[in-house]
Amino acid sequence: MAVIGIESSAHTFGVGIVDNGKVVANAKAMYKIGSKGMIPREVAETHLNNAANVIQEAVQEAGITFKEIEGIGYTKGPGIGHCLHVGLLSAKTLAKKLNIPIVPVNHGIGHIEIAKKRAKLRDPLALYVSGGNSQILKKYGDRYKILGETFDIGIGNMLDSLARSLELYPAWGSTVEKTAENGRYIEMPYTVKGMDFSFTGLLTHASKMKGKHNDKDICFSVQETAYAMLTEATERALLLTNSKELCVCGGVAQSKRLKRMLKGMAEEHNIKFGYAEDTFNADNGAMIALVAEQMLAHGRKAKLQECGIEQRYRIDEVKLWKE
């Protein structure tokens, strides 16, 4: 069955279509992040302007007609309220117009499920790293459990803030990664507590190094420290849960260095490691469609008037399905 998914939790308005678990379209339009980061009202406005076109584009890419779409999913949260509303509105409009079932989807679950699918993993421990989230999760029965997470900000947020304070543009993680090439290590605070970790101390310390050390060395040191923290916490969770598979997902999973570290760690323990292609690690509609299709197949359709958004929608609140 063809199911369409709409994602709009942050800077990306994405529309994906899946057909029996196969991604047949993944269209998106992004808000350009300037020196001030994301201004919610402006991002939402951009999404509103793009919504109709991106939906149209996805349907064309899939080579189907609107009539062939049998279900719709949208991101309920977590995310920026203004932005989520645009996705909700688009999804409700489509559901009503096409008279198809609708289901709210948790953004984080989208990231994990698409990584699982693309990497062909069955029951992995998941490291979910994005702008606002950094969590270590595993599915037990019909629910994901959070084993470890950030005490303060998400890793993506930390990298974006670092880029802004060093005045590197575009201010996001991949610029930090590029700047870090051939850097040398300067000491940074390293905060892991069991399977939890914290990034604000690292960010404050690194921001104070501006001017005293060159950007290259600061970026290198922050990146090595932050990724080592994540990898260490993940390693502990892997052994505790006795997992045989590991996946990394979310926007920051696009980082080559993070993947290399995780791969090295997984190899030491003979654990199968996988991840999705970059386009599915960045925010996208396909992952929402993928989860929506499964949820609808398990009878999780929602009443149209009950569909809403939740800015702090936590992964472990969601009842899913048993494998």
Q: State the residues that interact with another protein by CB under 8 A.
A: 145-147, 149, 185, 187, 190, 193-194, 224-225, 228, 231-232, 235-236, 238-241, 260-265, 268, 312, 314, 316-317
Task: Choose among 146, 85, 140, 86: nearest CA to 309.
Answer: 85
The neighbour count for residue 170, using CB atoms within 10 Å, is 13
Cβ distance to another protein smaller for residue 259 or 298: 259
The angle at the Cα of 197, spanning 192 to 199, to the nearest 5 degrees, equals 110
Cβ distance to another protein smaller for residue 125 or 290: 125
* Closest CB 214 distance from another protein, rounded Å: 17
Cβ distance to another protein smaller for residue 7 or 149: 149
Phi, psi of 84 (to 5 degrees): -60, -40
Q: What share of the chain is helix, strand, coil (3-state, %, to 5)?
A: 45, 25, 30
Amino acid letter for position 214: N
Phi, psi of 60 (to 5 degrees): -65, -45
Written as one string, the DSSP assignment of 11-40 is SEEEEEEEETTEEEEEEEEEPPPBTTB--H
* Closest CB 151 distance from another protein, rounded Å: 9
Cβ distance to another protein smaller for residue 41 or 145: 145
Cβ distance to another protein smaller for residue 2 or 147: 147
Cβ distance to another protein smaller for residue 214 or 241: 241
Cβ distance to another protein smaller for residue 59 or 203: 203
CA-based torsion, 288, 292, 294, 300: positive or negative: positive
Cβ distance to another protein smaller for residue 3 or 315: 315
- Name the DSSP class of 302: B
Residue 280: CB partners within 8 Å, gap ≥ 6? 23, 26, 114, 115, 118, 286, 287
* Closest CB 103 distance from another protein, rounded Å: 21
* Closest CB 225 distance from another protein, rounded Å: 6
* Closest CB 155 distance from another protein, rounded Å: 16
Query: Radius of gyration over alpha carbons of the chain, in Å?
Result: 19
Cβ distance to another protein smaller for residue 278 or 317: 317
Residue 4: CB partners within 8 Å, gap ≥ 6? 15, 16, 17, 55, 58, 59, 69, 71, 72, 73, 94, 285, 289, 292
CA distance 250 to 164: 21
Asked whether the beta carbons of 307 and 91 are under 8 A apart, the reply is yes
* Closest CB 313 distance from another protein, rounded Å: 12
